[in-house]
Amino acid sequence: MTGTVSVTPPRLILGSASPRRLDLLAQIGIKPADLRPADIDETPASGELPRDYVRRMALEKASALTVAEGEAVLTADTTVSVGRRILGKPEDRDEAARFMRLMSGRRHKVLTAIALRHADHSRVRLVETLVRMNPVDEPALQRYLDMGDWQGKAGGYAIQGAAAQFIPWIQGSFSAVVGLPLAETAAMLAAIGIHGGRQ
């Protein structure tokens, strides 16, 4: 008679303070056991390409956190790129305005990398989404900036926020633009025994 061996899945640690990422995990029925934001230098290296930058950020966040036995840490990084230019979180209203003018009337890429560290191994996945932004005239731009929704957002906007009025079309993962690609995240977590469902 053979019995099945029950393996306890690791405790999931979310290495982020982002309420959006927490909400996205809840959407697929996953509730982290703890939140541990990683404090790292997020300055791009000289000449660093956007794809390389987001991968490095996600992995560095995962590496910066202390992970006990029986724990797995999930980290992510999202950035906006226009060509080779990386648009991070704007420092002030003027920089947010520059970002929005740069993206106005053209397509840009939103890159989100997720890293999962467990049992001394780290895996990283990069998800790329193409986003089109309608032309944004100056009065509309100023009204948008007045709302303050650009603060703390890569590229100066959140697709699920006020900037949705400017975005008619995306190709790729909506949840990745928000901050966490759910299909890829669910697959990575399932591989180590963490599954969504009722909590």
Q: Does residue 123 contact residue 116 with C-beta atoms inside 8 Å?
A: yes
E strand segments, 51-171: 71-82, 85-87, 107-118, 121-132, 169-171
Q: What are phi and psi of 8, to 5 degrees?
A: -75, 125
- Judged by DSSP in three states, 74 sits in strand
Structure tokens at 25: 């995990």
Q: What are phi and psi of 106, to 5 degrees?
A: -145, 175
Query: What are residue 62's DSSP bridge partners?
Result: none
From the list 41, 77, 94, 146, the catalytic residue is 77
Structure tokens at 188: 């990575």
Report DSSP letters for 21-55, one per residue: HHHHHHHTT---SEE-------PPPTT--HHHHHH
Q: Known catalytic residue: 34?
A: no
Structure tokens at 73: 């840490």
Residues annotated as catalytic are 77
